[in-house]
């Protein structure tokens, strides 16, 4: 083991308590439960769907933890070998093992969980409107007549969600980063860094067209997506509570289940 170290971004401190949307809907449903049977269906909606959302947030945090541990594994493995006859005094090294692939498998799972969490936020936002709203973020955001909570979704969609969905679509429908993935450890000035490449232009959706930059690292990007999701969670929760205190939330308290049911011939 040498005295050098390799910088890995720190994980945020994951709170043991529920996301803010869950806490706000719990507070509202406990008060609404006292108002009478007409709110019975909304009570169960406000209990169940925020918990489905929390399930996916817990999944995201688990994936971040796992990716971080896999980065640490690669760092520790490099530090054991650096300076040996095998590696010498290298300035860059790329390795591809089953643990390298696992980073990308976890990243794919993280993207799926973020996408599911966003659709559940959209579904929760839907009860703020009189009309029946779509159950996906993309579709509810496209309804130009809706203002308020959906405006937060539209802003987030432009700022970061569209790009995140491009990454997800690459893995799910098109092509992953490559047919063989590497973890690269390199020296930049006097600092050692680790890089798991993801394309800077995921909307291309084809390996031959991908461009890469060491400024775009898988773990750093994943942490930013999580940070953005938690900001959105906070904004939506705060606006829901403000609307509730004004008597404007919920506007729809029935026909909240079996929405989007798929019928096959």
Position 83 scores a pLDDT of: 59
pLDDT in tens, 115-131: 999 999 999 999 999 99
Position 1 scores a pLDDT of: 36
Count of Cβ atoms closer than 10 Å to residue 14 Cβ = 14
Position 2 scores a pLDDT of: 46
DSSP-assigned letter for residue 38: G
| Cβ-contact 112, 173 below 8 angstroms | no
Alpha-carbon span 123 to 220, nearest angstrom: 29
Position 262 scores a pLDDT of: 74
Residue 108 has pLDDT above 80, yes or no: yes
**3-class state of residue 231 by DSSP:** helix
Report the alpha-carbon angle 261-262-264, nearest 5.
Answer: 145
| Cβ-contact 218, 197 below 8 angstroms | yes
Position 187 scores a pLDDT of: 86
Among 8-17, 35-44, 77-86, 178-187, the least confident range: 77-86
pLDDT in tens, 38-90: 999 999 999 999 999 999 999 999 999 999 999 999 999 888 876 555 555 67
If you search the block for the tokens 């591809």, which residue do you land on? 96
Pairing of strands 183-188, 191-195: antiparallel
Residue 153 has pLDDT above 60, yes or no: yes
Residue 219 dihedral angles phi and psi, to the nearest 5°: -65, -45
Taken in order 212, 218, 221, 225, the sign of the CA dihedral is: positive
Average pLDDT over residues 158-174: 96
The pLDDT mean for the chain works out to: 93
pLDDT band at 259 (very low <50, low <70, confident <90, very high): confident
Q: What is the pTM for the complete model shown?
A: 0.94
pLDDT in tens, 189-239: 878 899 999 999 999 999 999 999 999 999 999 999 999 999 999 999 999
């Amino acid at each position: 083991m040498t005295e050098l170290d390799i910088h890995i971004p720190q994980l945020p401190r994951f709170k043991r308590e529920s996301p803010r949307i869950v806490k706000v809907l719990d507070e509202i449903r406990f008060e609404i439960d006292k108002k009478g049977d007409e709110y019975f269906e909304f009570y169960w909606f406000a209990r169940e769907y925020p918990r489905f959302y929390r399930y996916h947030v817990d999944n995201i945090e688990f994936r971040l933890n796992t990716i971080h541990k896999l980065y640490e594994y690669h760092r520790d493995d490099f530090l054991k070998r650096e300076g040996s006859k095998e590696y010498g005094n290298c300035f860059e090294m790329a390795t591809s093992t089953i643990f390298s692939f696992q980073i990308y498998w976890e990243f794919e799972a993280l993207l799926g969980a973020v996408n599911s969490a966003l659709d559940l936020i959209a579904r929760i936002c839907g009860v703020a409107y009189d009309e029946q709203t779509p159950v996906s973020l993309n579709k509810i955001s496209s309804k130009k007549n809706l203002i308020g909570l959906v405006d937060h979704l539209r802003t987030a969609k432009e700022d970061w969600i569209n790009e995140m969905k491009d990454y997800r679509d690459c893995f799910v429908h098109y092509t992953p980063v490559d047919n063989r993935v590497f973890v690269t450890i390199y020296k930049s000035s006097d600092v050692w860094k680790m890089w798991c490449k993801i394309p800077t232009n995921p909307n291309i959706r084809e390996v031959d067209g991908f461009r890469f930059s060491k400024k775009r690292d898988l773990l750093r990007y994943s942490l930013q997506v999580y940070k953005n999701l938690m900001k959105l969670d906070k904004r939506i929760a705060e606006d829901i509570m403000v609307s509730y205190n004004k008597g404007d939330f919920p506007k729809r308290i029935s026909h909240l289940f079996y929405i989007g049911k798929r019928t096959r011939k």
